[in-house]
Amino acid sequence: MSGVEGAIFGHGFFDSATVHVALAVGAAVALVSGVVGVFAVIRGQAFAGEALSDVGATGASAAFLIGAPSLWGFVSAGVGAAAVMELIGIQRPRGRDLATGIVLGASLGLAALFLYLDTTYHSTTGATATILFGSLFAIDSSTTPVIIGLSLVALVLVVLVQRPLLLSSLNADMAAARGIRVRLVGALYLLALAVAVSLSALTIGAILGTALLVGPAATALRVTKRPGTAMLIAPLIGVAATWLGVVLAYDSFYWPPHGHGWPVSFFVVAVILSLYLLAGLPRRRRARAVAAPDGVR
C-alpha cells in the first residue's frame, strides 16, 4: 500500500470483514434514503420520517429485550407505525403533524421503558447507545442480505411510482383529476419511507435516522432544480457521506482516546452537514452578485 493510501485508509481497512459489511449495508441504506428523502422534502413529510424512526427505536429495544435481531424490531415497528398513520389520516394536510406528534411521543416513552428494562435485565448499557446512535460496525453480517434486499424493494417501489407520486405530492386534486389513485400512491410511499427510515435508524441510530433521509435530499435540492437529477444526486451524496464516515471512523481508532474508534454515525452526519453547507456557498455568492447592482431589493 502506498504512502498516500496508507494515510487515508488505516491499516487492514480493506481486509476487515466488519468494514465490508459496513460499506455494503451503508451504501444500500444511503441509496434508498436519498431517493425517498427527495420526496419526503417535497411532501413535507420529514417529521413523519422522524416519528417512524422513533417508533423503530421502540421496536428495536423491544426486540433486544426478547433477544431478537434489532433489524426486525426496527422494520416491523416502523412499517406498523406507517400503517397506523395511514389509517388515522396522516395523508391529510391538517392533523398530519398532530397525529405524527402523538405517535412520536408515545413511542419514545415506550422506548425509554424498554431501554431501561434492557439495561436492567442484561446488565449492559450497549443496547441504549447502539439503538439510539447506531453503529455500522456492529451489524450482524448474517442480516446483510436482508437489509440490502429490503433497501432494493423500497428503492424500486419509489422509482416505479415516481411520476404519480410527484404529481400527487404537488397537488392531490390535480393528480386525482388525471386518474391517479392519490391515496394508494401515498400509502405506498409511506411504506417505502418506513422501510428507508427503519434501515437508516438501524445503521446510524434512531435519533440520527432522518439525517440520512433529509440531509442528502436537502443538499441535492441546493444544486439541482430537476426532479430526476435530484433523485440521482441525493443517493450519491448519501453513499459518499456514509463511506467517508466509515473511513474516518476506522482511522479514528488511533485518535485520542487511543484505541477506541469514534462513532461512525458522528462522521456520517458531520460529512452530510459539511456537504450541505458547501452546496449553499455558490448560491449565496450568486444572490449577493444579483443583489449588488441595483441594491433596491
Q: Using CB under 8 A, list all residues that contact other proteins.
A: 38, 41-42, 44, 159-164, 166-167, 170-171, 173-180, 220-222, 224-230
CB of 180 to other proteins, least distance (A): 6
Q: Which spans in the chain are helix H?
A: 3-8, 17-43, 46-66, 70-87, 96-122, 126-133, 144-160, 162-170, 172-177, 182-204, 209-223, 227-251, 264-294
Integer distance in angstroms from the first to the last C-alpha of the chain?
A: 56
- Minimum CB distance to other proteins, residue 179 (Å): 2
For residues 69 and 85, give the distance between their C-alpha atoms in angstroms, rounded to a whole number.
25
**In this complex, which beta carbon is closest to other proteins, that of residue 132 or of residue 166?**
166
Q: Which is nearer to other proteins, 25 or 220 (CB)?
A: 220
DSSP class of 181: -
- Using the minimum distance from each CB to other proteins, give the nearer residue, 21 or 167: 167
Torsion of CA 179, 180, 183, 186, to 10 degrees: -170
Cα(39)–Cα(217) distance, integer angstroms: 8
Residue closer to other proteins, measured from CB, 17 or 296:
296
- Cβ proximity to other proteins: between 206 and 272 the closer is 272
Q: How far is CA 200 from CA 90, 124, 154, 214, 255, in A?
A: 22, 24, 13, 11, 26
What would the grid cell of residue 182 be? Answer: 392519490
Least separation in angstroms between CB 36 and other proteins: 14
CB of 226 to other proteins, least distance (A): 6
CB of 25 to other proteins, least distance (A): 26
* DSSP label at residue 205: -
User: Which residue, 127 or 185, has its beta carbon nearer to other proteins?
Assistant: 185
As a whole number of angstroms, the distance between CA 217 and CA 237 comes to 8
State which residue, 179 or 259, has the beta carbon closest to other proteins: 179
The one-letter amino acid at 58 = T
For residue 297, the minimal CB distance to other proteins (Å) is 14
Q: Rank residues 104 and 172 by Cβ distance to other proteins and give the closer one.
A: 172
Dist CA 118 CA 132 (whole Å) = 13
Q: C-beta of 177: minimal distance to other proteins in Å?
A: 4
**Cα 297 from Cα 32, distance rounded (Å):** 40
Q: How far is the CB of 109 from other proteins (least distance, A)?
A: 32
